[in-house]
Structure 1
């Protein structure tokens, strides 16, 4: 399986709401960085920290939170996902749509680092 296929598998699991499938390709010490300014900004280490600090929180805070991937670019040990996040804030009822780029780093068939780049201002505006 190529690295791009591994990342695409994560996105497919996300679409299906399959948390275990989303975490499956992660190394035990994966470093997952949410962009500065994003509501969940910071670096999370390990699959459990990512599940609790990012994936579960997104579902708690946003109705119909969606990750729509337009393109997955294969650059060997680096894979780039490009797409759009969308959802509706559960507190304010305001929707948002924001473009993202995900930078995935893989070693030995496992994701070891992830970095999110997103227009955080659009997400924050839906929270106000």
Structure 2
């Protein structure tokens, strides 16, 4: 069985390839996916379908070239932390955005059970303001 670290690393590799199916291959059907308050997709979304609809589709619609660039992955057993940067250009304002971000993953039984994002929402909001 793959370790939690490998599962999260595989998720990020799939994200780099824009392979949504592979990104969610190891995500539990009842995953709790939390985007930080103040972020465009803020809230806790339950299940892969809701995460795709309320997070990834929204980000794709509002931001051009949206991507997460992983700097390092920290292995904490069942808890894995991804640290890096978001990069994008807001479609309505044309303003670029680059912000530091931390993702905290909880993996149990070979499935991602929880995800929580921490980022500087003020910098994101500034890119969205005309």
Residue 124 in structure 1 maps to residue 125 in structure 2: yes
State the Cα distance separating 1:79 from its structure 2 match. 0.3
Map of 1:84 onto structure 2: 85
Q: Distance in 2 between matches of 1:54 and 1:35?
A: 11
Aligned residues: 128
Matched, 1:47 2:48: yes
1:69 aligns with 2:70: yes
Mean Cα deviation higher: 52-61 or 105-114: 52-61
- Aligned equivalents of 1:61, 1:12: Cα separation in 2: 23
Shift of 1:119: 0.4
Q: Whole-Å Cα distance in 1 between the matches of residues 39 and 53 of structure 2? A: 16
User: Partner residue of 1:32?
Assistant: 33
Aligned-partner Cα distance in 1 for 2:25–2:125? 30
Distance in 2 of aligned mates of 1:57 and 1:4: 27
Residue in 2 aligned with 1:56? Answer: 57
What is the CA distance between 1:45 and its match in structure 2? 0.1
Report the CA distance between 1:23 and its aligned residue. 1.0
Unaligned runs of 5+ in 2: none
Aligned-pair CA distance for 1:69: 0.3
| 1:103 alignment counterpart | 104
